[in-house]
C-alpha cells in the first residue's frame, strides 16, 4: 500500500514537471513581433529592381545605396547589385 502511494506521488510530480517544461518551451519558442526601424518600402523597391535586372535598375540601386544612412538598406542594395552583376 505504501509503495502505491509513493508511486502515485512520483507520477504526479513527473506529470507536473512535464507540464511546466512544456509551458516554458512554448513561451520561449513563441516568436515575438518583429520590431524594425526600417519601413518595408525600400526593400520592396530593391526586390522589384532585382527582378528587372536591367541597366536602369543598377543605376537606381546605386543611387539608393548612396542616398541612405541605413546599413540594412545599403547591404540589401549591395547584395542586389552583386546578384545582378553575377547574372551578367
Q: What is this structure's pTM?
A: 0.52
Most confident of 2-6, 22-26, 40-44, 68-72: 2-6
Q: Render pLDDT for 35-54 as a digit per residue (tens, 0 to 9).
A: 555 456 888 888 888 888 88
Evaluate whether residue 35 is within a structural domain: no
Q: Which three cell numbers stand for residue 74?
A: 545599403
CB atoms within 10 A of CB 76: 22
Q: Which of 48, 85, 83, 80 is nearest to 65 (CA)?
A: 80
Same domain, 47 and 83: yes
Range of the domain at 3: 1-29
Same domain, 9 and 45: no
Same domain, 80 and 45: yes
Amino acid at each position: 500500500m505504501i509503495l502505491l502511494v509513493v508511486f502515485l506521488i512520483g507520477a504526479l510530480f513527473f506529470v507536473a514537471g512535464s507540464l511546466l517544461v512544456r509551458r516554458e518551451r512554448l513561451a520561449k519558442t513563441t516568436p515575438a513581433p518583429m520590431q524594425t526601424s526600417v519601413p518595408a518600402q525600400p526593400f520592396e523597391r530593391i526586390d522589384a529592381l532585382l527582378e528587372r535586372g536591367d541597366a536602369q535598375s543598377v543605376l537606381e540601386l546605386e543611387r539608393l545605396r548612396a542616398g541612405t544612412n541605413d546599413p540594412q538598406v545599403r547591404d540589401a542594395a549591395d547584395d542586389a547589385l552583386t546578384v545582378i552583376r553575377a547574372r551578367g
